[in-house]
Amino acid sequence: MSRLAILGGSPRFSSELPVGQLYFPSWDRYEAAMRGIFERRFYTNQGPLTNALEEKLRAFFGVKHVIVVANATLGLIMAAKALNLQGKVIVPAFTFIASVQSLTWAGIDPVFCDVDIETHGLHPASVNRLIDGEVSGILATNLWGGACAIEELQKIALERGVKLYFDSAHGFGVEAFGRRLGGFGELEVFSFHATKILSATEGGCICTDDDNIAARLRNMRSSYGAGPPVDVPLTSNARMSEAQAAIALMSLEDFETNVENNRLQSAAYSRTIAGIPGVSLVRVDAASKSNFQYVVCRLDEDTFGMSRDQLLIALKCENVNVRRYFYPGVHRSIPYSEAFSQCNTFLPNTDKLCTELFQLPVGAMVDVDIAAAIGELIGDISEHAGEIRGRLSR
């Protein structure tokens, strides 16, 4: 075993290994796609590639409408407006800040709700308790290539007369409760950011079976309105360009291969991490099929011998760029920590997950051997926990 970098050895990896899918098609395929755009002289505003992508995604998701957008953050803002949400919306604080900020941009107050410690999605009984006369909606998240308690949330939304929609930024291609994500609730929003399993470099889409919601979204997306005109409160520019759509189409062609690579890497992590005391891989059991987009680990500080953040420093020295999604909880982030200070005390599962979880490299920049080597590296670090703690406290 070579000496750990944090203790004076050389880094185990010569270049930085990132978290995130980072799919790049071959140069030949990219060049051919860009040539087509140049030949047609058509960059953006619902060109042939964007329309082809929407068509293919409609079939993929099995939904009536797919509206591709510039990124999921804009998709979430438009979703809140298209659903005519007012007053307050229930949302987890254990999420990427964009979920919550979409509400703020739409003029809605977020009501933070704790998450289930297993699914990391909204805890249904807590949601039910928080609904009052001012709550008009629930924004639930499907994280890590898994799913939240979708069916229970649907039941609550129906009984209590509020609108349910999903931030499925991590959920492309995931199957749960007998179908592919995309068709649950009023609508679902997906991210096609470069770090996601379906990449448009930047991008996203909104799925819905509701004709009116779809028409409102299409009119909002294009600044000047598009498709049959409907009344919308505001328009925006959330158009996806032809270049983004070209990458997304290639990424869609390679989707199953990329999922399989993720699955094999996840299995390699699972094998090598299994025997290390204090570290465990988070399972996404609520999904019958995952996209394995994230390899999420939980660390028990007492058993492992050092904190999650100390482990991250040791891994960074080895050129392994591990991330703490999500940290801090959104309720502890500006502007919410000030305006919603009362929330600081009663989201125990959120606070626990924010201190215990970390994401390991997975995707196109990683292979099975690298995943196994990172798993073994975590084992080496655990064996030297005392020495590393001493080094970090100097």
Interacting residue ranges for ligand T4K, rule: CB under 6 A: 18-20, 22, 71-73, 95-96, 98-99, 141, 167, 169-170, 191, 193-195, 204, 321, 323, 325
The alpha helices in 279-347, defined as continuous H runs, are 301-304, 308-317, 336-339
Indicate the residue among 6 and 68 with the shorter CB distance to ligand T4K: 68
Range 84-88 contact pairs with CB under 8 angstroms and sequence separation of 24 or more: 85/136, 85/137, 85/163, 86/136, 87/134, 87/135, 87/136, 88/134, 88/135, 88/136
The length of the chain is 394
Indicate the residue among 200 and 343 with the shorter CB distance to ligand T4K: 200
Question: Least distance (Å) from ligand T4K to the CB of residue 174?
Answer: 13
Question: Least distance (Å) from ligand T4K to the CB of residue 60?
Answer: 18
Question: Least distance (Å) from ligand T4K to the CB of residue 170?
Answer: 6
Indicate the residue among 18 and 146 with the shorter CB distance to ligand T4K: 18
Angle, helix 385-393 to helix 308-317, in steps of 10 degrees = 90
Question: Cβ contacts of residue 319 below 8 Å, gap of 6+?
Answer: 11, 12, 13, 14, 15, 16, 17
Question: Least distance (Å) from ligand T4K to the CB of residue 302?
Answer: 28
Question: Least distance (Å) from ligand T4K to the CB of residue 19?
Answer: 5
Indicate the residue among 215 and 247 with the shorter CB distance to ligand T4K: 247
Indicate the residue among 20 and 182 with the shorter CB distance to ligand T4K: 20
Question: Least distance (Å) from ligand T4K to the CB of residue 141?
Answer: 5
Burial of 321 (0-12, 13-18, 19+ CB in 10 A): middle
Peptide bond before residue 328 is cis, with ω within 30 degrees of 0: yes
**Residue 173 and residue 128 in contact, taking contact as beta carbons nearer than 8 Å:** no
- Site of tokens 């229970």: 152
**Residue 362 and residue 295 in contact, taking contact as beta carbons nearer than 8 Å:** yes
Indicate the residue among 21 and 46 with the shorter CB distance to ligand T4K: 21
**Residue 179 and residue 289 in contact, taking contact as beta carbons nearer than 8 Å:** no
Question: Least distance (Å) from ligand T4K to the CB of residue 42?
Answer: 24
SS3 content of the chain, % helix, strand, coil (to 5): 45, 15, 40
Indicate the residue among 19 and 149 with the shorter CB distance to ligand T4K: 19
Indicate the residue among 13 and 325 with the shorter CB distance to ligand T4K: 325
212's tokens? 């009116």
- Site of tokens 């890590």: 144
d(CA 139, CA 8): 47
Question: Least distance (Å) from ligand T4K to the CB of residue 193?
Answer: 3
